[in-house]
A and B are shown apart, each in its own frame.
Chain A
Amino acid sequence: KAGVTQTPRYLIKTRGQQVTLSCSPISGHRSVSWYQQTPGQGLQFLFEYFSETQRNKGNFPGRFSGRQFSNSRSEMNVSTLELGDSALYLCASSLEGWAGENTEAFFGQGTRLTVV
């Protein structure tokens, strides 16, 4: 079965611009979460969506936002890009994303964002 698909794989943007990243989860998965990965900080949680509702948000500024559509596909938007936003952005999907079984999260290949 198809895995988690993230597009685009690579992006180069200029400071001050905005960017939108896309994530298509595994078919049937309703939970989608986003992470920022940098060499110094590791994987940092951005937010999680389930059935189009944001259930949790990490400690990132309001420039980072997301949404989920009725088909569970999700987008993440970063406005007013800063140099420090350069990172690998990872999307993960899981069946339920809550306590109990089926909490395994499966990751996409990520979008490498470079801000210049």
Chain B
Amino acid sequence: EDQVTQSPEALRLQEGESSSLNCSYTVSGLRGLFWYRQDPGKGPEFLFTLYSAGEEKEKERLKATLTKKESFLHITAPKPEDSATYLCAVYTSGTYKYIFGTGTRLKVLA
């Protein structure tokens, strides 16, 4: 069965303290892996799509990487405004649906 697992569930960082969030997946026919940011009471905001192992994408303080079994979201020198829940999702061929992990709740302290 297709599965996505995110770790840690929650993470507290000091401002400027870099870290990584993990998304491991077990799927057949991966067609894309996505990272989203979600603020309380709002819909997820699209961040990145990764299609193949070895691919990397960057946006401001965020960098996403992909291997054959997992993806990492690296946060460099985070700021309090980076506090949110970060969701990982996969899209597999023929299913027409996204499978989401349960997310990592990130809190960045000033």
Contact A42/B97 with A103-B91, A104-B34, A104-B49 known, Cβ cut-off 8 Å: no
A12 to B26 CA separation, bound complex (whole angstroms)? 38
Shortest C-beta distance, A5 to chain B (Å), equals 11
Q: How large is the interface on B (under 10, 10 to 19, 20 to 34, 35 or more residues)?
A: 20 to 34
The A contact surface, by secondary structure, is strand
* Assembly CA distance A101 to B55 (angstroms): 14
Given contacts A90-B43, A106-B46, A48 and B91 within 8 Å (CB-CB): no
Q: Please pick, from B32, B45, B91, the residue contacting A107 in the complex, using a CB distance under 8 A.
A: B45
Q: A42-B102, A100-B31, A103-B32 are in contact. Are A48 and B96 (CB under 8 A)?
A: yes
CB contacts under 8 Å to A, within B35-56, are: 36, 41-46, 49, 51
The residues of B that contact A56 with a CB separation of less than 8 Å are 95-97
CB closest residue in chain A, given B93:
A99
A64 interfacial contact with B, CB 8 Å: no
Q: Is A109 an interface residue (CB 8 A)?
A: yes
Give the docked Cα–Cα distance between A70 and B43 (Å): 25
Given A99-B93, A105-B34, A112-B41: A45 and B99 interface contact (C-beta under 8 Å) = yes
Asked whether A43 is an interface residue with its Cβ less than 8 Å from the other chain, the reply is: yes
A34 to chain B, nearest CB (A): 10
The reply to whether A98 and B43 form a contact with Cβ atoms under 8 Å apart is no
In the bound complex, CA of A43 to CA of B36 (Å): 12
A side interface size, CB within 8 A? 30
**Interface residues, chain A, with chain B CB atoms under 8 Å away:** 4, 6, 31, 33, 35, 42-43, 45, 48, 50, 55-56, 58, 88, 90, 92, 97-101, 103-110, 112
Can you list 26 contacts pairing A with B, beta carbon distance less than 8 Å? Answer: A6-B43, A33-B97, A42-B100, A42-B101, A43-B44, A43-B100, A45-B98, A56-B95, A58-B97, A88-B41, A90-B43, A90-B44, A92-B43, A98-B93, A99-B31, A103-B49, A103-B91, A104-B32, A104-B49, A105-B46, A105-B89, A105-B98, A106-B46, A107-B36, A107-B46, A110-B42
